[in-house]
């Protein structure tokens, strides 16, 4: 049987740029077996040895930020002015996980009692399968890879077909850093059937998936008939922002635009719906328009570009369908005049940042994940209505409230149903805070000291002195 050929299509030109081979039937068996053998020796290594390897790998990753950033721009379309920053942010995140790992992985002592030693040890779970996406491949991979390796697990990683070299680069870097053979393996596949087969292997003990709800459910279902296996899911979002009447309108508008259209809005935690106090609604919309006038849509290899193409023709069509649905149901296109929005390059998947007003929850753009550079703005009369609408969603990843009254903002976020809540900030996973989704945005967590929890299992030691 011939191997699957996986082709990466450039979002800039819609032409093929890379090809990779999928898995053979033998690979589906051998990859988990290799991971299991490597785990048996790697789990016995000291934490200090793992520290040394990870520290060296992070340095190598940082040293290659320009080259890796260029690859990202070519493969997924983010402007080259921003892609090297993903690498430096991933390194900083990894360094934080490295710094806290000793405390996060230490034993927990039981109650002191003469003649006994009792404690709880955190031991690695075994081979881990990490399935990570194209939109922030290095950042999303680091979230799971670094704690997995520091905890003593072997790891199998599968990148998105859109950014295949991210996995290859990481494997090469860790090989150079001295990671033992077999501890980190990669594979390419565009077949959910093959991915499910790897997840069903009796050797795999944990699956970490970042991506869509539909694919997350498929992975979870594949693993559902095995008791020991765990599944961590980081899924989609429809993240709201509420702008109160007391804000500095110009500043808040700049922040909201950035949180909505950075990476062409292709972030699980981008701002996807905006609720604005009716007292400042018109002024705020005008401020959003002023900000958007200064943005440039265009070739991501141009360092002056703010917004590049979205990842695929299919994605562009889905975003445009949300805009069309909203306009047909009474929304207003309030996007300002901007030549770059009107005349982007002709070959790629360019979707101009779009500002919509007069929106409501009968429209897909306010209820379904858009994953594009769209800013829908809805007028609200007060805090109570805003919170009710913010919570009216199947998703619960992040949410933000914008106000000069920080105490009031702090009070309001207590009632918001999301795993991460912000006051006067958005679209920012902090490495010292747990990254966790509520509702259909996922389960499990990464980052912070709690980000190590899914990569270990507890083993209680109960030792009694021998009677004399």
Residue 435 domain-assigned (yes or no): no
Q: Which pLDDT value is given to residue 208?
A: 97
Across all residues in the chain, what is the average pLDDT? 97
Do 251 and 375 lie in one domain? The reply is: yes
Do 297 and 209 lie in one domain? The reply is: no
Residue 436 domain-assigned (yes or no): no
Residue 135 domain-assigned (yes or no): yes
Do 170 and 244 lie in one domain? The reply is: no
Do 267 and 248 lie in one domain? The reply is: yes
**Cβ atoms within 10 Å, residue 42:** 22
Do 286 and 226 lie in one domain? The reply is: no
Percent of the chain at pLDDT exceeding 90: 97
3-state secondary structure 141-196: HHHHHHHHHHCCCCEEEECCCCCHHHHHHHHHHHHHCCCCCCCEEECCCCCHHHHH
Residue 190 domain-assigned (yes or no): yes
Q: Which pLDDT value is given to residue 170?
A: 98
Residue 253 domain-assigned (yes or no): yes
The model's pLDDT over 271-315, given as tens digits with 9 standing for 90+, comes to: 999 999 999 999 999 999 999 999 999 999 999 999 999 999 999
The model's pLDDT over 153-171, given as tens digits with 9 standing for 90+, comes to: 999 999 999 999 999 999 9
Do 394 and 291 lie in one domain? The reply is: yes
The model's pLDDT over 113-152, given as tens digits with 9 standing for 90+, comes to: 999 999 999 999 999 999 999 999 999 999 999 999 999 9
Do 96 and 177 lie in one domain? The reply is: yes
Confidence of residue 227 (pLDDT cuts 50, 70, 90): confident
d(Cα 468, Cα 348) in Å, to the nearest integer? 80
Do 195 and 307 lie in one domain? The reply is: no
* Domain that includes residue 102, residue range: 5-235+441-463
pLDDT at 336 over 90: yes
Average pLDDT on 415-440 reads 97
Average pLDDT on 35-43 reads 98
DSSP 297-347: BS-TTSTT-SB---S-HHHHHHHHHHHHHHHHTT-EE-PPP-HHHHS--SS
Residues acting as catalytic residues: 234
Residue 207 domain-assigned (yes or no): yes
CATH number at residue 354: 3.40.309.10
pLDDT at 224 over 90: no
Does the CA dihedral 49-52-58-60 come out positive or negative?
Answer: negative
Do 49 and 196 lie in one domain? The reply is: yes
Do 218 and 251 lie in one domain? The reply is: no
Residue with tokens 């996060």: 104
Q: Which pLDDT value is given to residue 324?
A: 98
As for how many domains the chain has, the answer is 2
Residue 100 domain-assigned (yes or no): yes
Do 148 and 119 lie in one domain? The reply is: yes
Confidence of residue 235 (pLDDT cuts 50, 70, 90): very high
Do 218 and 324 lie in one domain? The reply is: no
The model's pLDDT over 373-408, given as tens digits with 9 standing for 90+, comes to: 999 999 999 999 999 999 999 999 999 999 999 999
What's the predicted TM-score (pTM) here? Answer: 0.97
What three-state secondary structure class fits 38?
helix
Q: Higher-confidence residue: 224 or 66?
A: 66
pLDDT at 174 over 80: yes
Confidence of residue 1 (pLDDT cuts 50, 70, 90): low
CATH number at residue 115: 3.40.605.10
Residue 430 domain-assigned (yes or no): no
């Amino acid at each position: 049987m011939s191997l699957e050929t996986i082709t990466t299509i450039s979002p800039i030109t819609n032409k093929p740029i890379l090809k990779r081979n999928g898995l053979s039937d033998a690979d589906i068996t051998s990859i988990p077996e290799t991971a299991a053998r490597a785990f048996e020796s790697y789990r016995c290594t000291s934490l200090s040895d793992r520290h040394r390897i990870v520290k060296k790998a992070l340095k190598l990753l940082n040293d290659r930020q320009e080259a890796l950033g260029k690859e990202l721009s070519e493969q997924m379309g983010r402007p080259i002015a921003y892609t090297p920053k993903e690498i430096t942010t991933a390194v900083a995140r990894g360094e934080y996980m490295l710094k806290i790992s000793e405390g996060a992985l230490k034993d927990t002592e039981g109650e002191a009692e003469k003649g006994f030693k009792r404690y709880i040890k955190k031991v690695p779970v075994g081979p881990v399968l990490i399935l990570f996406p194209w939109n922030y491949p290095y950042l999303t991979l680091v979230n799971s890879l670094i704690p997995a390796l520091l905890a003593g697990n072997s790891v199998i990683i599968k990148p998105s077909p859109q950014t295949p070299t991210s996995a290859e680069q990481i494997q090469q870097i860790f090989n150079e850093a001295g990671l033992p053979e077999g501890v980190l393996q990669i594979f390419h596949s565009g077949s959910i059937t093959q991915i499910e087969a790897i997840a069903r292997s009796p050797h795999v003990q944990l699956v970490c998936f970042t991506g869509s709800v539909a694919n997350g459910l498929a992975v979870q279902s594949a693993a559902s008939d095995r008791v020991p296996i765990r599944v961590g899911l980081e899924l989609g979002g429809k993240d709201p922002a509420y702008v109160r009447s007391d804000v500095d309108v110009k500043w808040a508008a700049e922040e909201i635009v950035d949180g909505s259209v950075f990476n062409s809005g292709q972030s699980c935690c981008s701002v996807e719906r905006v609720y604005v106090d009716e007292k400042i609604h018109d002024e705020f919309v005008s401020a959003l328009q002023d900000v958007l006038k200064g943005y440039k849509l265009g070739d991501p290899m141009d360092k002056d570009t703010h917004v590049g193409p979205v990842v695929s023709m299919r994605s562009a069509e889905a975003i445009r369908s949300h805009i069309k649905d909203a306009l047909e149901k009474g929304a207003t296109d309030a996007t300002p005049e901007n030549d770059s929005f009107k005349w982007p390059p002709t070959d790629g998947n360019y979707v101009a940042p779009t500002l919509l007003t007069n929106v409501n929850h009968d429209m897909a753009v306010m209820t379904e994940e858009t994953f594009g550079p769209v800013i829908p703005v809805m007028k609200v009369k007060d805090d109570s209505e805003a919170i009710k609408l913010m919570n009216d969603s199947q998703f619960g990843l992040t949410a933000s409230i914008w106000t000069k009254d920080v105490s009031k903002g702090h009070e309001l976020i207590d009632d918001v149903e999301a795993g991460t809540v912000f006051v006067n900030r958005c679209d920012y996973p902090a490495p010292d805070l747990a990254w966790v989704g509520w509702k259909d945005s996922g389960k499990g967590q990464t980052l912070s000291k709690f980000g190590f929890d899914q990569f270990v299992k507890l083993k209680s030691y109960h030792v009694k002195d021998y009677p004399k």
